[in-house]
Every structure is written in C-alpha cells, then in structure tokens.
C-alpha cells in the first residue's frame, strides 16, 4: 500500500547557476561525494545533478506528513542499480523514519529534458495479511442458502443527539455493510424524523428524551427490555455529555448482559467512574482514541502516545476487557492476546471515522465473533477501507462515509 508520495521539478539551468555562484560548497551541502563524482563523469552533469535534486525533494515531500520542511538532503543518496534503475539510500533521521514507519520500498522515477528535470517518489508498505480464524471465516463468508436476516445477528445501536445524527448514521450503516442481519437504532424521539430520512435500511426505536433532546435516564427500562432480543450492543457515538444521559450510559454499561462495544460519549461517561468497568456483566470492547484514553487514566495525551503498548496491556488486563487504542498502528489487547494493526492512513483522520469502526466491531459481535477477534479484525478492515479509498479519493478529500463505501471491496480482499 502507498504510504506517501511526492513529485518535484527543477529547471536545469538553476543547478548550473547555483554551482557557478556558490561553488563546490553548494554541491556538498546537497549531494554526497558519490553523487557528485557520478554526475561529473557524464557529458551533461547538471542534468544528472538536477535529476537527483528533484528525486531528493520528491522524497522529502513523500515523508512530509511525519517529517516537516527541514531536511538534510545529504541523508538521501540517489544512485542506480545494475540495470540503470534509480534507487534511494537513506541515512540518519530519514533512515530512522523509514524504519519507524515499517516501510518496505521506495519507488523513484526520474526524467529530464534539455531544460527541466522531474522526479517522483512513492513510499510503499507491504500488507501483513491478518490471520482470520476458521470459525470467523465461517461466520462471515459461509452463508447458507436457507438463511434469513435473523441468522446474521441483531445489533442495537444507542447513539445520536441534536447536531450529532451523523455519528449514529455512520455507525449503523457500517454495521449493516459489515454483514449484520438487522441493525436497530435507539435514539431520542425528537430525532426520529431525521433518522427516517437518513437511514432507509435501519430500524429506528424512538426513546424517551431529556429537555435537551438527549437520551433520558427514564429510557433505561425500554432499552434493557429491547436488548434482550438483540445479539450485541453498541453505545456512544454522538450521545452528548448531558449529565442525565451520561448517568444512563453508566447504568447501561453495568446492568446489561450482552456483548457491547463502547465508544465516544460512552467513554466520556466513564471518565471519573472508571471503576464501573469492573462491574460489567457481559464481554465489552472499549475503543478510546489517545485523548479519551488519557482522560480515563488521568494522563496527558502525549504520555499515552509515548507508552501506547504498556498502557494498553495494563488497562485491558486490569479491567478484564478488550481494549482498542486507536491511532497510527491501532492496538488491540485482551489478556495475553495482543495485536498491532498495520492498515490505515492519515487520510482517515477525519470526523466520523471512529463511528465507522464502532459499527464494524459491533456488527462482528452481533454475528457471534468473540470480542478480541471482532476488535482485531474490525481494526484491520477499517484501516483497509481507508487504504482502498485513498487511491480514488486522495488523502485530502477522504471522509468517513467513503470508508463505508469501500467495505464491500475490503471484505472481498480478505475472503
């Protein structure tokens, strides 16, 4: 998969004039002795120097989302293999960055005319295909001809509040696209008309609301009774931080005995009440991003990011749950099971992407996949949709809804 790309063009006479003006010190700041020696053995040395300069600049641009503008171009050496194909050798910080990103290849292309040199760079990372258990494969891909919608699980999604209907919609549609037979959305009753327009295939369950049109604590009994007819539960996207709604969330988490994925405002409801996680009755998957994780454990986000692995393992084991710490290389842990995800890209850093992940994991739980496997595969598939979508949409324009559109392609690839 492509993890970065860059392109650069330079007028060849600029290289000649710069050398004339600043002398060999200019060349030594940009090129290695090997590059200088190679170029001046050629009939048109400045064409070769310009081509190498463009290749270096293209490489810097390809790394730019993790490096910045400052770069020592001497740390990037452009040479040719035995067949004359250009190749890149990295040194110093660029080499460390290459290793940290676990890249597998840098593809360089260079060309020049009489007046211009141009180069492109593509950073490549090979997929590590996820190991999917036979039981999970059977659940997802072995669908008997005499099946019906009830054969593939019923997910109850409790989500949404004024201004946050999109979070609920994304979660529900991601769940349905991930194979769940039936998805029901429990949402404040005043939002029902909006949801009826947004969601054609989703069943809607209007629930008692507060004066702020968020879910009321009085809706608990209705939620509890309805959940008995469902196979899994997803809670949190767009529910708000309204105090009564937060009390409802905590009551649901501790009193419902059903496989559950907890995200977004449901995680916010646990902030300051994290001990309730020891009181849950059914299997749960908790999906915080680093800032939410930091609030749960009373640490700064920067400290969470520096200690992602240790904190993930410690929290998951302490509360006997499956933890999904989102971000670059999402981590999934339950007891001795630990997984580092290798799909996804920075184009997915967009509002609603986490709601899509909640829907995918919730769907897997509803279909009968165990919580660690559901979370692990959910993270992989979620990232894979982003890697597929970015080829068409681009890093800048990728949005959460695109991830749902690419779910069918992602499932075909892993089948």
Sign of the four-CA dihedral 190, 191, 197, 201: negative
Choose among 224, 226, 181: nearest CA to 202. 181
How far CA 303 is from CA of 289, 325, 354, 377, in Å, comes to 13, 14, 21, 27
Instruction: Tell the residue number behind the tokens 């879910």, with chain if given.
Output: 215
3-state SS assignment for residue 102? coil
Predicted confidence at residue 72, as pLDDT, reads 79
What phi, psi does 3 have (nearest 5°)? -115, 0
Strand partners, 111: 118
Q: Retrieve residue 279's tokens.
A: 């009181």
Choose among 313, 305, 400: nearest CA to 348. 400
Q: Retrieve residue 9's tokens.
A: 């063009």
Answer yes or no: are the C-beta atoms of 321 and 285 closer than 8 Å: yes
What phi, psi does 321 have (nearest 5°)? -140, 175
pTM of the model: 0.79
Burial class (CB in 10 A: 0-12, 13-18, 19+), 299: middle
How far CA 365 is from CA of 201, 215, 262, 330, in Å, comes to 19, 24, 12, 19
DSSP secondary structure of 282-313: S-EEE---HHHHHHHHT--HHHHHHTHHHHHH
Integer Cα distance of 26 and 42 in angstroms: 19
Q: Using alpha carbons only, what angle is made at residue 377 by residues 227 and 347, rounded to the nearest 5 degrees?
A: 105
pLDDT in tens, the chain (415 residues): 677 889 999 999 999 999 999 999 999 999 999 999 999 999 999 999 999 999 999 999 888 744 444 467 888 999 988 888 899 999 988 888 888 777 888 999 999 888 999 999 999 877 677 889 999 999 999 999 999 999 999 999 999 999 999 999 999 999 999 999 999 999 999 999 999 999 999 999 999 999 999 999 999 999 999 999 999 999 999 999 999 999 999 999 999 999 999 999 999 999 999 999 999 999 999 999 999 999 999 999 999 999 999 999 999 999 999 999 999 899 999 999 999 998 998 899 999 999 999 999 999 999 999 999 999 999 999 999 999 998 899 888 999 999 999 999 999 999 9
Strand partners, 286: 262, 323
Predicted confidence at residue 71, as pLDDT, reads 60
Q: What is the pLDDT of residues 150-175, one digit of tens each?
A: 999 999 999 999 999 999 999 999 99
Predicted confidence at residue 112, as pLDDT, reads 87
Answer yes or no: are the C-beta atoms of 168 and 194 closer than 8 Å: no
Strand partners, 2: 124
Q: Collect all residues with Cβ–Cβ distance below 8 Å to 382 and sequence separation of at least 6.
A: 343, 344, 353, 356, 357, 360, 403
Q: Collect all residues with Cβ–Cβ distance below 8 Å to 308 and sequence separation of at least 6.
A: 290, 325, 327, 331
Instruction: Tell the residue number behind the tokens 């009830």, with chain if given.
Output: 150
CB atoms within 10 A of CB 134: 8
Q: Retrieve residue 282's tokens.
A: 């059914």
Domains annotated for the chain, with CATH where assigned, are 2-124 (3.90.470.20), 134-414 (3.40.1190.20)
Answer yes or no: are the C-beta atoms of 144 and 160 closer than 8 Å: no
DSSP secondary structure of 82-100: TTS-EEEEE-HHHHHHHHH
Predicted confidence at residue 69, as pLDDT, reads 42
3-state SS assignment for residue 46? helix
How far CA 268 is from CA of 169, 245, 293, in Å, comes to 20, 11, 10
Choose among 352, 275, 349: nearest CA to 315. 275
What phi, psi does 207 have (nearest 5°)? -125, 155
Q: Where are the beta strands (DSSP E) in 284-391?
A: 284-286, 322-325, 331-334, 337-340
């Amino acid at each position: 998969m492509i993890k970065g790309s860059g392109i650069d063009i330079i007028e060849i006479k600029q290289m000649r004039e710069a050398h004339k003006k600043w002398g060999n010190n200019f060349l030594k700041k940009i090129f290695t002795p090997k590059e200088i020696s190679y170029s001046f053995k050629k009939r048109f040395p400045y064409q070769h120097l310009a081509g190498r300069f463009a290749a270096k600049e293209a490489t810097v641009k390809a790394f730019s989302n993790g490096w910045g503008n400052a770069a020592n171009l001497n740390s990037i050496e452009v040479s040719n293999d035995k067949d004359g194909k250009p190749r890149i050798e990295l040194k110093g910080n660029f080499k460390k960055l290459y290793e940290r990103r676990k890249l597998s290849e840098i593809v360089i292309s260079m060309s020049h005319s009489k007046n211009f040199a141009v180069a492109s760079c593509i950073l490549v990372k090979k997929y590590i295909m996820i190991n999917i258990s036979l039981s999970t494969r059977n659940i997802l891909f072995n669908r008997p001809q005499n099946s019906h919608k009830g054969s593939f699980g019923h997910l109850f999604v409790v989500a949404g509040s004024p201004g946050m209907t999109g979070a609920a919609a994304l979660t529900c549609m991601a769940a349905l696209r991930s194979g769940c037979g039936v998805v029901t959305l429990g949402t404040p009753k005043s939002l029902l008309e909006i949801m009826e327009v947004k969601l054609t295939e989703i069943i809607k369950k209007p629930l008692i609301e507060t004066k702020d049109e968020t879910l009321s604590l009085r809706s608990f009994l209705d939620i509890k009774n309805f959940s008995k007819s469902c196979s899994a539960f997803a809670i949190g996207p767009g529910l708000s931080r309204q105090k009564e709604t937060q009390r409802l969330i905590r009551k649901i988490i501790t009193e419902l005995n059903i496989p559950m994925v907890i995200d977004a405002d449901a995680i916010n409801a646990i902030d300051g009440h994290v001990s309730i996680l020891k009181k849950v009755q059914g299997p749960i998957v908790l999906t915080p991003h680093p800032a939410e994780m930091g609030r749960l454990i009373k640490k700064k986000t920067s400290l969470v990011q520096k200690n992602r692995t240790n904190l993930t393992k410690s929290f998951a084991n302490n509360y006997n749950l499956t933890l999904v710490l989102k971000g670059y290389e999402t981590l999934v842990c339950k007891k001795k099971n630990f997984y580092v995800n290798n799909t996804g890209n920075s184009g997915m850093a967009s509002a609603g992407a986490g709601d899509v992940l909640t829907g995918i994991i919730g769907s897997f739980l509803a279909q009968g996949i165990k919580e660690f496997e559901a979370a692990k595969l959910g993270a992989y598939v979620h990232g894979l949709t982003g890697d597929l979508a970015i080829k068409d949409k681009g890093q800048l324009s990728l949005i959460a809804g695109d991830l749902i559109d690419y779910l069918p392609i992602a499932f075909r690839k892993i089948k």
